[in-house]
Structure 1
Amino acid sequence: MLKKKVTDLRSAIGLLKSVPGQLLETNEPVDPHAELSGVYRHVGAGGTVMRPTKTGPAMLFNTINGHEDARVIIGLLASRSRVGLMLGTDPERLGFLLKEAVSNPVAPIIVSKDKASCQEVIHYAHEPGFDIRKLVPAPTNTEEDAGPYITMGMCYASDPATGESDITIHRLCLQSKDEISMYFVPGARHLGVFRERAERSGKPLPISISIGVDPAIEIAACFEPPTTPLGYNELCIAGAIRNEAVELVSCLTINEKAIANAEYVIEGELLPGRCVREDQHTNTGKAMPEFPGYTGPANPELPVIKVKAVTHRVQPIMQTCIGPSEEHVNMAGIPTEASILQMVEKAMPGRLLNVYAHSSGGGKYMAILQIKKSQPSDEGRQRQAALLAFSAFSELKHVILVDEDVDLFDSNDIMWALNTRYQGDVDTIFIPGVRCHPLDPSQSPDYNPALKDKGISCKVIFDCTVPYHLKDKFKRSKFKEVDPRRFTTDI
């Protein structure tokens, strides 16, 4: 359980320092251009990163080339057990924690500027020498990246029509001393709706980007519809997780709010009618590594944020992640689990025991559903649960169904179920021609000419559950219950 109260990034780091094996700190100078991520790839990235990699501690770099006073932390959320530690629950119960938080929101509050540590140091864009690239040590993941990227920026904006606010995470590339390009997955984010409404009226959309915040905010920001529909502010989920309202502060140069205890805040406006090519300075044709494990193509036309100011804490800590790392798995996957749990429980209470958004799908493409069949009429409900999972999270591509005696967090146990409780011709359900996610390179007419558009996929259910009438024939071998601590200290 939680040993120290976590309210911001620094208290989260303090907690990790008190637990052996959760944080690696180094004073060795590191280049934020490709080297920093290259190091962490070996230390703790995991996820869909090309091997060799592993799940390991978070890493804090205290000496960043070109940034004298700044530090960079990477991999804060790149371990499910570490996320559980920082959110105060068992790793296996994280989906349930978030499910309850969605249903019991705690709205954010606004505090005065004198209580906002994010505004301890202020840099205005109109001042001589202002350059966001020198102020914010945004790394590049690889040497092919389109530029330095902010990968853990909490983007906060408000609907120009209703005033309702929301927070999401986007791909943000530093393009010049005061411009940032912003990538929107088509139709998937509330801020995209806000931007389109402002664009139609010909007005800029004020936006703040808070970097280095309470991990509860970073996880909550990754919820998507229908669990959090338009008008639902995900900061309310973070408040529920902590049982304490998230504190916001008014920005200095725009009519918007930012997270009061963030390490950095970038204030700016999304400009109407202004777009740039994502790789305009590198011409690599590539953006940055994304969660499926491939480097995304550079977008030829992205909206632009015009930066008005950068504020930060004294000796700020930049937070970043490797796009395809286990960090993305947890940020995207745990809200996915909560969304599936919520929808299936409403439709068929008591039958879905747990959900795991598997690492190999980056937290988005694959979910393992653990189902309990208690009576003959439960047969077939496992497949209905899978259909509900696709409805709960539209970017889901594959669902694997397993019984209650399978450890859904153990990939070997899942493969065992696939090998002994599954027949391809009777236990595979294909759902072709469904919209999924454009970053999967196989979801393209180039890969499958039958697909009508990029991002359309054949969704698949792998039913690895035992038919109810055969359950007695598929019982696992039972071993004697003993206490192994009598014989070894390694348990």
Structure 2
Amino acid sequence: MTGRRLADLRTALAGLDPMPGELVREREEVPARFGVSARYAKWAGTPAPPPTGPGPAVLFERVGPSGRAVLIGLYGTRRRAAALLGTTPAELPHRLLAAVAAPVPPVRTRGGREPARTLLAPDLTALPVPVLTGEDAGPYLTLGAVLATDPDTGVRNLSVHRMCVQGPDRLSIWMVPGRDLEAAHLAARRRGANLPVAIHVGLGPAVLLSSCCPTSLVPAGVDELAVAGALGGAPVELTDCRTVAAECIAHAEYVIEGELVGDVAPENPRGPYATPEFLGYQGRAHPGLPTVRVTGITARDGAIFQTVSGPGHEQSVLLGFGMEAAVLARLRELDAPVRAVHCHTAGGGQLMVVLQWRSKRSPADDEAVRKAAESVLEEFRMAKLAVSVDEDVDVESDADLWWAMTTRLQADRDVAVLPDRLGFPLDPTQSPAYSPTVSADGRTAKAHFDCTVPYALRDRFHRPRFTEP
């Protein structure tokens, strides 16, 4: 696909149509409440509850009551996610690093190139926003990418956040503390103003993947849209919102325009839960969250509403590639002999990091590998488990990873524990209620499993190579 095509979700979908088993089109009408999630559950993949497994992207062509289309599962396998960008899972983190190093700034649309858009009423209830479970606070935008400009710095930020429909023109939004969107919101509040935002649903692969990258990879001051332009091979095209003084991405399927206001509302006034989270557990509702007042909605003709299932493979794939690139960059700075990084979806693409090392050249490499792996656990808050393997282990194969764990590790010498480190509270073990060695919620013991062969014993671990006749 060319960069021009990568900017567009529906063209990416069209590229899947001729590939057997990659895209399923469901023509039977299903309800937005539970219907989309229940039909897709068999393909959701770990950490959704079993039985599940990797599957196709699914386009529900008629989701009631509006009869609009809903897409789920587009990034449901690492191979398909990478293929949408014309690459492989092993190469994609390197492509991200190259895009961050040489960003391509976005451009304004030129006459005649902007897709036709219809201005809809500011009524979220008219959209096919799914409800995943009976415990959810309500319909959720699980893949809404918020574009806003910090009024102090003038820097754009594009990032995905959990947003619950609280009324026809009202969304609650959970912004992880310390992220760029929260900083822009607070800057606007200090000025006594609301923050104009454009919430995009249905974006091209390069743009969406760039929006999911961690700040350690795309730091403050770097425009995610410029990273997306480099990743996709062409500048992202911007246009003006219709009802607020903000920019939006011209090729988005839907743009929900509005303002982040000063009002705070409970995420779920009726119960304790929000919606399923990417680590596989029901998320807890926040007692008070900032809100977005919706001022208008624009949609392309035949717009597709894109979503993800919270406890599923897809969200972990999206988070994992950016994390891999960030870890690779840090290990390169340390001149560590890293060959590849794989952030396993079982850890939500964040908590479990598989590190593949180049062949050891001396006894000193035994200690170098251990120190470098432990530095990843120390420097990346989300990383909880690091697994080190050699070049002959396929990091994309669970069977090969478990084989290495079984035959290349002795627990009393090859497992290092780093107690009471800063972690991530959505993991329910990271709490004093679970372990007295943890000093506060969101802290955790971390571990490195060194499944690399000791340099002195490398000849004893020689794997057979089959020869073609």
TM-score of Structure 1 vs Structure 2, range by shorter chain: over 0.9
1:183-209 CA-partner distances (Å, limit 9, x unpaired): 12222x211211222233332111110
Matched, 1:180 2:179: no
1:75 is matched with which residue? 73
Cα distance in 1 for partners of 2:373, 2:291 equals 39
1:19-48 CA-partner distances (Å, limit 9, x unpaired): 111100011110111121111011x21131
**Shift of the alpha carbon at 1:4?**
10
The answer to whether the 8 Å contact 1:156/1:165 transfers is yes
Alignment equivalent of 1:84, drawn from 79, 82, 85: 82
1:123 is matched with which residue? 120
SS of residue paired to 1:224: coil
Cα distance in 1 for partners of 2:145, 2:204 equals 11
**Shift of the alpha carbon at 1:260?**
0.5
Alignment equivalent of 1:435, drawn from 419, 422, 428: 422
Alignment of 1:134-149 (within 5 A): 134=126, 136-149=127-140
Cα distance in 2 for partners of 1:144, 1:308 equals 29
Matched, 1:198 2:182: no
The answer to whether the 8 Å contact 1:417/1:464 transfers is yes
SS of residue paired to 1:63: strand
Cα distance in 1 for partners of 2:379, 2:400 equals 25
Alignment equivalent of 2:267, drawn from 267, 271, 278: 278
Matched, 1:217 2:207: yes
Alignment equivalent of 1:133, drawn from 118, 125, 145: 125
Matched, 1:243 2:241: no
Alignment of 1:76-115 (within 5 A): 76-111=74-109, 115=113
The answer to whether the 8 Å contact 2:3/2:232 transfers is no
SS of residue paired to 2:91: helix
1:380-414 CA-partner distances (Å, limit 9, x unpaired): 11123213433663211111001111111111111
**Shift of the alpha carbon at 1:441?**
0.9
2:348 is matched with which residue? 362
SS of residue paired to 1:89: coil
Cα distance in 1 for partners of 2:398, 2:26 equals 33
1:23 is matched with which residue? 23
1:429-470 CA-partner distances (Å, limit 9, x unpaired): 222222221211111122123323221111211111111111
Cα distance in 2 for partners of 1:301, 1:481 equals 64
RMSD (CA atoms):
1.8
The answer to whether the 8 Å contact 1:112/1:249 transfers is no
1:421 is matched with which residue? 408
1:155 is matched with which residue? 146
SS of residue paired to 2:356: strand
Matched, 1:288 2:280: no
The answer to whether the 8 Å contact 2:4/2:234 transfers is no
Matched, 1:381 2:373: no
**Residue correspondences, number:** 468
The answer to whether the 8 Å contact 2:136/2:273 transfers is yes
Alignment of 1:332-481 (within 5 A): 332-348=319-335, 351-372=337-358, 373-390=360-377, 393-476=380-463, 478-481=464-467
SS of residue paired to 1:354: strand
Distance 1:392 1:212, change over 3 A: farther
TM-score relative to the length of structure 1: 0.92
SS of residue paired to 1:175: strand
Cα distance in 2 for partners of 1:263, 1:458 equals 43
Residue type of the alignment partner of 1:312: A
Matched, 1:165 2:159: no
The answer to whether the 8 Å contact 1:332/1:363 transfers is yes
Cα distance in 2 for partners of 1:170, 1:267 equals 15
The answer to whether the 8 Å contact 1:340/1:388 transfers is no
2:257 is matched with which residue? 267
Distance 1:301 1:394, change over 3 A: same
* 5+ residue gaps, structure 1: 126-130, 484-491
Residue type of the alignment partner of 1:23: L
Cα distance in 2 for partners of 1:113, 1:229 equals 33
1:487 is matched with which residue? none
Cα distance in 1 for partners of 2:189, 2:374 equals 36
2:39 is matched with which residue? 39
**Shift of the alpha carbon at 1:97?**
1.7
Cα distance in 2 for partners of 1:434, 1:319 equals 36
1:186-242 CA-partner distances (Å, limit 9, x unpaired): 22x211211222233332111110110101111111111222111111112211112
The answer to whether the 8 Å contact 1:340/1:389 transfers is yes
**Shift of the alpha carbon at 1:99?**
1.8
1:297-356 CA-partner distances (Å, limit 9, x unpaired): 11110100011110111121100010121111211001111111111122215x111111
The answer to whether the 8 Å contact 2:149/2:156 transfers is yes
Matched, 1:64 2:60: no
The answer to whether the 8 Å contact 2:96/2:322 transfers is yes
Taking only the aligned residue pairs, the percentage that are identical comes to 38
The answer to whether the 8 Å contact 1:343/1:388 transfers is no
2:291 is matched with which residue? 304
Cα distance in 1 for partners of 2:327, 2:378 equals 8
SS of residue paired to 1:87: coil
Cα distance in 1 for partners of 2:111, 2:239 equals 6
1:78-97 CA-partner distances (Å, limit 9, x unpaired): 11111121100123222222
The answer to whether the 8 Å contact 1:276/1:301 transfers is yes
Cα distance in 1 for partners of 2:230, 2:125 equals 35
**Shift of the alpha carbon at 1:161?**
0.6
Cα distance in 2 for partners of 1:432, 1:206 equals 43
SS of residue paired to 1:170: strand
TM-score relative to the length of structure 2: 0.96
**Shift of the alpha carbon at 1:268?**
0.8
The answer to whether the 8 Å contact 1:160/1:194 transfers is yes
The answer to whether the 8 Å contact 1:2/1:87 transfers is no
1:143-163 CA-partner distances (Å, limit 9, x unpaired): 211100011111111111111
